[in-house]
A and B are shown apart, each in its own frame.
Chain A
Amino acid sequence: MRAYIPGYELCVPRTLTEALERMAAEPGRWRPFAGGTDLMVLLEAGKLNHRCFLSIWRLPELREIVIASDSVTLGCLTTYTDVLRHETLRREFPLLALAAAETGGVATQNRGTLGGNIANASPAADTPPALLVCDAEVELLSSRGSRWLPYREFHTGYKTTLLRADELLARIRLPRNIAGLRHYYRKVGTRNAQAISKVCFAGVRNESTGEVRIALGSVAPVPMRCWKTEAVIREGRDGPAALAAEIAPIDDIRSTAAYRLRVAQSLLKEFLDS
């Protein structure tokens, strides 16, 4: 059932500083609201429990894409469309562009943001596996200061993260060191566009050294980088068996644990043979 709309607050801070100050003044009261592609769906379903939001959609500081010699830094408001239209991202991070292209239709890609996809903390989100494979770092910003941490540490459990009540996930940094590798991204769902994944798989492989990086979505309480499987593959042992031991898929409305496991192993084989 729809929520009672007058019961929700949405404010529009004029600057990033103002947004952070409001979050600091009343920790936990205000949460950031970006493109709304997840939050508005919850609202419509009557499941948006939090009531007070700060619209950060028009803060230009959070929308920049900055290219440095060894990294690319993306503002949290970078949309899927921004990723798809950015030449450097398409060239050096094709798996991120593939993930962006597989997220919703164009209308969703124009409004959905990378920061939202991360902070929303769904284990089924499309871009987190790609970001894990990129060895991304995230900046958690508050009026107290900024801290950068490896994205792989960010998700602590089902829908829980290291974000503190006064912090905003402001930027994402990608080291520019996977451009020449073979990139693979594949999402398996009921329909190509507009479907939440049953399993999604991101990987890069260095064809000369055999080194791989692998991450999956919808197979555990968090988007998961599969370190153990990577090590087993590096040693030339049975990757799909290691993957079965490492992931923990469940039965839910979208699929079953058994199907997810089988698809995850098939995707790994396809990736290794690609």
Chain B
Amino acid sequence: MNINPEEAYLRLRYLFQRFRITPQRDPEVAARARDQFLARVDALGPPRPSVVGARSRLAKALAASRSLAWAVASILLAVALLLGGTGVAYASQNALPAEPLYPVKIAIEDLQLSLSSDEAVDAYLLLQFIQRRVNEMTALVGEERFEYISIPVARYNDSLLQLATIIIGYLDRDDPRAQELISLLSEALTNHEIVLSTLLETVPASASSDIELAIHVSKEVSQSAEIAQVETSTTAEFRGILDSLTDQGAVVCGIAFSFTSGSDFEGSPIPGDAVKVEFGVAGGRFFADKVEREDEQEECELRVQGLLSARGDGLGGTPWVVAGIEFLVDPTTELRGDPQVGDFIRVRAVPLSDGRFLAARIETEVDEVPENAAEIAEVKNIEPDKGQRGQTMNVEITGESTHFSAASVVTFSPAEGIIVNSIIANSPTSLIVNLSIASTASLGDRQVIVITQEEVASRENFRIEEGDTEDTSGEGEEVGEVKLIDADPDKGQQGQTLAIVIIGEGTHFDLNSHVSLGTGITVNSISIQSSTRLTINVSIASNAALGDRGITVATGSEVAGGKEFRVESATTGESGGGGVGDNGGNDGGQEPDAVEEVRFTGTVQSMSSQIWMIGGKQVVITPQTEIKDNINVGDLVEVRALLQPDGSLVAARIELADS
């Protein structure tokens, strides 16, 4: 007999009705089950703190300081805008709170952030800024100006909040950059906690609450970053049979995985099931992000992909490392390609009885790069690749597929103990960086990171070593001759205002350097290009004594001399009078070294406090540079500049081409 669908449906409805009737539950069994449940509640105890809670605490802790920080930032930015001019920008870099140029320093930082269109660049900038704030706190304590410590503390907290916000955004979007940022941040915060704890022992009670706040925020962020690192570090998966499962973790094919509050489960796996575990590595432990039951039985197998960070031998001795996971390679390993450190590879490995992994197959993905490495800009070389504590030096950074410019930002990870004094972009793939290494800088390797617009290049390391000279005196000063080897021009006329480039040897010029040319010559401004090169703008009094006089540059206890400057009479005509560097315009003579004025029109490609790239030319900005309009990158501008004897262009005036 055939049953049509309509009849079947009616029958189904009837069956559903019947099916809803269920036998009475045995009350005794039910009561026993309830007791067992409540006993289990007691046995398990209260929950561990959740990540959500940690993040929430972080947000609250930071929010408390946020409003104050923004208020401070707004005021400083306004002051900076009022001051205006890019010439003071460079000079502001070492300014401390309550000093006239500090608002400029802060305004520039805010400007850098506002100009950036990429959160990743913001994050790296913020990493730099929080290091600066710690440096400022240290300097203020050193100068016993405790009353100003709250200013860098507020900025520190605010920058950390911004950084945490960016990272949480990456976390929410499963952006792999979160992992790298968290790693960098964790390193930085570890150092900060040490420095701040030391400061706390030094400061009086009136300032201790500020330092304590910074420590508190640092610890909160650090703790959350640590947890988040575990959460986000899912880079690998492991398949096998679930041996055991507890609320603490799971063991699959003998490999232990710990659970975090974010661990997820799918398909209700139970021991004996074939499972896939997606996991990350932190502190050498495996943390399961997800445990999923699989229908098909799988061999025990690890699959991981990422950049090869260490390449051991091929004989099963020293391990290779990808994404923090160590594995051995032996002659049984099928190697596809010739993977080198830094290559993106895929690995399939099997667990050994001792808990280690042996790679069964390694594939080098030549064409495949991680999502966050869409730009393959890399730092290929840094020369020299090491420096000593207490040293100020130039290093050349060579990039590949990079677009270095004067707007590039160079930083080190960890950043502690290294100050980047200046940057000169020789080409899109070459940068000269002048840096100072603190005498207390931690020894070891630092990753070099160059950020140019949205491009982040890194890979090579810079090593900090002990100084060559044994510091038995405890003063930590380098031994070596300090002198001036050039001053250009080395003469000027009475009444003239001009720029002089001074070159030193073994010197450590910085913004605290003091230049003297004797009575009658006023140093109007100083601009530091490197530890051995500075430019001063001077005015020679009309009654300045004629003849030679010594030039001295004092930097702390270091005094460099050995070059002379000649003052000539404006009426002798011996050298033709003042040159184009004359800002006062009180004579129209020619400079002996023929500083040539050039004019050109070009598009502004990049802008930093000291150097702009305009129409492919690198133009030095000085305090005397007259910038007529509100100029931005991309604007077409007319430039009047002075071609210096060394070939550099010093801008005298820049204005919009159509203005």
The answer to whether A and B interact is no
Interface residues, chain B, with chain A CB atoms under 8 Å away:
none
Q: A residues engaging B (CB < 8 A)?
A: none
